[in-house]
């Protein structure tokens, strides 16, 4: 599995403005609802429920909000850059500016874990992170993530 297998250019976002964690999760759910045919409220509640179990912040300004969702046909990811940063209650205390969201069908155990591992590996590359943080072009961000 490659990042290009789970992420498309239309699912790379830049979210401007001062946003809370709830607002970011809501915006991600709204965007995902457009392509999944799943009600945005269901998506938001699934993401929020998972986040309430413990922060999905990885540290170094990165978070991986994720959830398994009933009636979802296939795994979907959204990558979002939030230049102003968001308090995701990260253990390192750093605000999150890069989010890789994953929603998966309820029954997709192995694919869900594989996608999370792939996203985590992509976010460990310091050169990629610097390049993503330096640009405001979603196509360029997609190209960096899928190299």
Distance in Å from the first CA to the final CA of the chain: 13
In this predicted model, what pLDDT tens digit does every residue of 25-83 receive, in sequence order?
999 999 999 989 899 999 999 999 999 999 999 899 999 999 999 999 889 999 999 99
Write down the CATH number for the domain with range 3-145.
Answer: 3.40.930.10
Q: Is 51:65 a contact under the CB 8 Å cutoff?
A: yes
Question: What residue ranges do the domains of the chain occupy?
Answer: 3-145
Q: Nearest CA to 63 among 74, 45, 75, 51?
A: 51
Query: Any catalytic annotation for residue 66?
Result: yes
- Residue 88 banded pLDDT, cuts 50, 70, 90: very high
Q: Identify the active-site residue in 21, 31, 66, 112.
A: 66
Residue 139, judged by CB atoms within 10 A of its CB (0-12, 13-18, 19+), counts as exposed
Residue 17, judged by CB atoms within 10 A of its CB (0-12, 13-18, 19+), counts as exposed
Q: How far is CA 46 from the centre of its chain?
A: 14
In this predicted model, what pLDDT tens digit does every residue of 89-110 receive, in sequence order?
999 999 999 999 999 998 887 8
């Amino acid at each position: 599995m490659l990042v290009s297998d789970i992420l498309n250019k239309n699912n790379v976002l830049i979210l401007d403005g001062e946003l809370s964690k709830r607002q970011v999760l809501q915006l991600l759910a709204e965007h995902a609802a457009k392509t999944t045919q799943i009600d945005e409220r269901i998506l938001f509640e699934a993401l929020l429920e998972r986040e309430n179990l413990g922060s999905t912040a990885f540290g170094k300004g990165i978070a991986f909000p994720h959830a398994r969702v009933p009636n979802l046909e296939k795994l979907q990811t959204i990558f979002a850059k939030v230049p102003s940063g968001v308090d995701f209650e990260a253990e390192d205390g750093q605000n999150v500016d890069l989010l890789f969201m994953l929603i998966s069908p309820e029954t997709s155990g192995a694919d869900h874990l594989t996608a999370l591992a792939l996203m985590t590996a992509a976010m460990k590359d310091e050169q990629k992170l610097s390049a993503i943080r330096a640009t405001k072009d979603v196509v360029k961000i997609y190209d960096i993530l899928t190299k």
